[in-house]
Structure 1
Amino acid sequence: MTLVQVLADELSVHMSCDFRLTNPYTRQTVDDSAHKLVSIQGAGWQGLVGVTGVSVIDAMPVGEWMARTVGGFRSDLTFQEALSRLITAETSIAKILDPRAKWHTFVVGAVIGSQSTIAFVSNYQSVNDIPGSPLPSAPSDHFSVSIAKPKKARLFLAGAVHSVSKLEQEGLEAALRSGLPEAKIKERLRDVNIAASRRNAIQEQAKYRYGSGTVSEGCYVASIDATGRGTSRPFLTDQQKGDFITPEMAQILGQAGLSIRPAIDTDGRHKPVRLIQSASGSYNPSANYFREQFKLQPANSELWNNYGAWLNSKGMTPQAKEAFRRAIELDPRNTTALANLAKRFWFDDGDWLAAKEMYETALRASEPDVPSWILSDFADLLSQDGASIGRADALHQRASLDIGNPVTIARRAHFIAEHGASVERAIEMIEQAIAKQPNNFQIWFIAAKIDQYFAKDFPAARYKLEKALELAPDDVDVLLQYANLLLIQHEPETAVHFYRRAVKRGIDLKLLRGNYGLALLCARKPKPAWHQLKRAMQLLPDAVDVKINASAAMYVLGYDGAHKILERVLLESPSNELELEASAILLAAEINGSGVDMLRARMVTLIESGVTADDLAVRAVAQSLPAPERRAYALTVADVIAGISPATALTPS
């Protein structure tokens, strides 16, 4: 039998598996490069699975079978479900007729919350067996599960347990108790595996004349702990030939359609592709997750930054900013926390100067290797200030040099389009970014905004937003942009559907700017529309566009006060577009009111100077008018401000 070692305490698990496969009849080595250990990232937990026993399950090498069954990133997989999936191997193993070839144990080491858990899924072993105790006469046809939750350092052995001495067991447990670094623990497990391999070879040769030993000197060791960190390292010898890529890594590469190109040696042959070491992180944010993690590492700056990001995603902005500040207190060079706090100053407080100062600090803390996303974010901030456009351009250009992050190319393209350099050049850059990462929804999203706002190509914008939605169906920014485009294209019913999806996914209601209410109004649902627009006015009391849309809803519902709201809007010197829209609603709703001739004359002046306006609210008001003649004229007003009909049509015949 091969050897699995699991060294664990309450907060960590370290597992070692050798590479050898042995013919159970001849006792000769079949393969010294077999994979027998895979990692799992499950639903709120992480784990390692090792195996000793049958080498092929369901016509697959056992390592590949484990990777396909439980390995890799599985956000919906619980610990108990993983054990249940491993048990399904008993169907394949039960078909083996000779009991000598049926001995089998899966060893699972997991960290769930802040408690390690060790499980044996076996047809002959228990996790609580005393090392060195005799085996049963034959393996069972069925697997049983046994579980232990160690509170202190303990070594668990599966397979060739007699090959590890009592002294070695005690030495490993003492090493873990002493707080030996993780890398040194791996080396100690490696050393014990080598000693066990040599001892096992002597034992096998004494028992079987032609026995070659069932444990290889090479082994693969992996570690996980309660902080969510995971690392692994293969200890290869001359016995391990060819490539070394773990089954779960091979699976990830295959799913992504990627392959690793081997290097060529001096005689033209391919060099082996080998994993040297790996690191991973398990991050399943929740209130309970952070509560447990802060018990373990209260002074971890990165943990506080992650906590801030999680709080922000829940709409708890003040608490998020405090978490980012705590992260910076613990590590003033935590560039990510500095940038995250800068973004909150900008987006939530509108404090441009505070955000700029924080971004400057982030750059100083990380020069010369500033992350490209921070350069790009800072460039976006600076682009809001006319005096800083040159520096914003330089930062965008520097960020776009990161070939591994083509989103920065897309963001630079948006900057170029927005600041009038060249829409055509921006579109070329976007196409380059899409070619580099066609499955990145952010690039498609930025491309859509360039098409919509600068190229004025609404069909192209819609196509790109639909691509973004395919890739990220729950992203609130994409949902909002798509809903807004549908509304512009006079599809209010469909727009309402996507606004609702954005609301359900927790979008900041300020970002809706009353557009959800306008879509409801255009879909002839005036009461829900008024509810949304009234709420928008409370959230954004100075937003002129919200006031205009709310007044349209009041006209449709017959509520008093719409005229006064629009008059106040016109007295506040709004933009030409909003002035034209507000005037159009007044004209459509009150065609015979006082001052209409002066209003109409001002509208003609605006239109003849090239101004157009949003016609949606005007059309909603028009559709609510009972008299056919008034409704027809109001719809004509909507056509005029949208640029469909000439200004002369404003004068009734």
Structure 2
Amino acid sequence: MTLNITVAARWLMTQSSDFRLTGSGATVSETSQKQVVLQYMGWSGLVCYTGVARYGPHDTAAWLADVLTHNPGQRSPEQVVNRLVEEATVWLRQVPIRLRCHTFTMITYERGKPKVYVISNFERPNGPQLANPADKLFWTRVRPRGPRCIVTGYSPAVVDSQREELEGLLASVPSPERLREAVATTSRESSARAEGTVGESCVVAHLCPDGSGEAQVFGNLSEEFLPTMITNGHNIASLVPTVMDQAGRAGPHRLVGATWSANGAATAMLGAYRALSQQAGSGWPSSTSSASGDK
């Protein structure tokens, strides 16, 4: 069970996801992709998930790349949501019911208005969890006016005081960088209460009302991490290995961060990558590391 933290308001939204993948009580990976960036001419969004990462031959990260990639062109937020509901419902029925709990969270600004979609078979942002997962995923749309913190996955790990602090920070209209660091710190601190299922490292991305945004990896990663990032249906991450080879940059590599432009007739997304051999320090900004007691 991962930890996803979403903090949303009319003027700024952020979303976090850790990287840990566990199975049978053991850590399987510390570089599992659980968040995808979507960028279109008319809107941008972030999609993360918690629940079933792998079962048998199924790998949710690879599945998401397939489901979200398409021929160049437009998809609306609701088309993405409906596709997730339809396709995920099919493969989740192959998973034993005791393991079937699964949630996607998608955030986007539509015509400048914030929308949070919680797509799940057991979690509801405005009510208690279902005792047993439903046979089909359902979605709930939240339209936050003031600051709202929505936690999915191992939600008890984030205590009320942390939620209130994040909502209070967002109410002060902080810089995107400051909010990203605050959410990352909250995720890191909460991991200690997640019974080993949530890792300290995480990725946090923000969205602005014009559709622009930025993603940042917090912490060093132990394996290659070239996450899916979709622009108008195309997965630009598929180009990274070729570009790195042509530049003479030996791998393995991992994403450091990504930034994308405001929505419009022309859009752009830029990713920054680093060889694992060139990682140094903790991988956390100095201000964040100091706040957490690192040296």
Coarse TM-score class (shorter-chain normalised) = 0.7 to 0.9
Contact in 2 for aligned 1:4/1:16 (Cα 8 Å): yes
Per the TM alignment, residue 42 of structure 1 is displaced from its structure 2 partner at its CA by 3.3
Residue number among 254, 258, 261 corresponding to 2:238 in the alignment: 254
Q: 2:134 aligned to 122, 140, 153, which one?
A: 140
- Aligned residue among 217, 223, 233 for 1:234: 217
| Matched ranges for 1:213-292 at <5 A | 213-237=196-220, 240-248=221-229, 251-254=235-238, 258-261=242-245, 270-285=250-265
Match of 1:162 among 156, 160, 178: 156
What is the TM-score when the length of structure 2 is the normalising length? 0.81
Residues 256 and 183 of structure 1, relative CA distance in 2, 3 Å threshold: closer
> What is the percentage of aligned positions where both structures have the same residue?
25
1:468-516, Cα deviation, whole Å (9 max, x unpaired): xxxxxxxxxxxxxxxxxxxxxxxxxxxxxxxxxxxxxxxxxxxxxxxxx
Residue 256 (structure 1) shift: 8.9
Q: Say whether residues 1:111 and 2:95 are aligned partners.
A: no
CA distance in 1, matches of 2:54, 2:153: 16
CA contact (8 A) 1:231 1:277 kept: yes
- Residue 11 of structure 2 is matched in structure 1 by 11
Match in the other structure for 2:280: none
Q: Is the 8 Å Cα contact of residues 263 and 271 (structure 1) preserved in structure 2? A: no
Give distance in 2, aligned partners of 1:186 and 1:263. 32
Deviation of 1:186 after TM superposition, in Å, equals 0.7
CA distance in 2, matches of 1:193, 1:223: 15
Partner AA of 2:202 in structure 1: C
AA of the residue aligned to 1:241: S
- 1:173 is paired with a residue whose SS is helix
Higher relative CO (CA 8 A, sep ≥ 6), structure 1 or 2? 2
Please give the alpha-carbon distance, in whole angstroms, between the structure 2 residues aligned to 1:282 and 1:102.
37
The answer as to whether partners of 1:41 and 1:72 remain within 8 angstroms in 2 is no
Question: What SS does structure 2 have at the residue aligned with 1:258?
Answer: helix
Residues 43 and 77, structure 1, Cα contact 8 Å, conserved in 2: no
Alignment match, 1:80: 78
Question: Mind listing any 5+ residue stretches in structure 1 that lack a counterpart?
Answer: 202-212, 265-269, 286-305, 307-653
- Residue 39 of structure 2 aligns to which amino acid in structure 1? Q
2:244 is paired with a residue whose SS is coil
Matched with 2:290 is none
Matched, 1:28 2:22: no
Measure the CA separation in 2 of the matches of 1:119 and 1:186.
Answer: 20
1:493-532 matched pairs, under 5 angstroms: none
Contact 2:207–2:213 at 8 Å: present in 1 too?
yes
Q: Deviations over 1:441-466 (max 9, x none)?
A: xxxxxxxxxxxxxxxxxxxxxxxxxx
> Who wins on radius of gyration, i.e. which is larger?
1
Q: Within 5 A, what are the aligned runs for 1:251-650?
A: 251-254=235-238, 258-261=242-245, 270-285=250-265
Give, in angstroms, the shift of residue 59 of structure 1.
Answer: 4.2
Aligned to 2:75, the other structure's residue is in SS state: coil
Q: Against the structure 1 CA distance between its residues 74 and 145, is the aligned structure 2 distance closer, same or farther, given a 3 Å change threshold?
A: farther
* Between structures 1 and 2, the one with greater strand share: 2
More helix by share: 1
Q: Structure 1 residues 75 and 140, CA, compared in 2 at 3 Å: closer, same or farther?
A: same
Paired amino acid for 1:186: R
> Within 2, Cα distance between the matches of 1:4 and 1:263?
36
Does the 8 Å CA contact 1:57/1:92 hold for their aligned counterparts?
no
Partner SS for 2:141: strand
Partner of 2:186: 192
For residues 36 and 134 of structure 2, the distance between their equivalents in structure 1, rounded to whole angstroms, comes to 25
Match of 1:39 among 37, 40, 53: 37
Paired residues, number: 261
- Aligned in 2, Cα 1:96/1:60: closer, same or farther, shift over 3 Å? closer
Partner in structure 2 of residue 172 of structure 1: 166
Specify every segment of 5 or more residues in structure 2 that has no aligned partner in the other structure, as ranges.
267-295
Contact 2:203 2:218 in 1 (8 A): yes
2-side partners of 1:186 and 1:96: how far apart?
A: 34
Deviation digits for residues 30-88 of structure 1, max 9, x if unmatched? Answer: 21110000011236211100000111379453223223322699632011100011111
Letter in 1 for 2:28: V
- Residue 197 of structure 1 deviates from its aligned partner by 0.4
Q: Would the aligned equivalents of 2:103 and 2:120 in 1 still touch at CA under 8 Å?
A: yes
Does the CA-based 8 Å contact 1:39-1:72 persist in structure 2?
no
CA 59–13 in structure 1, closer or farther in 2 if over 3 Å, else same: farther
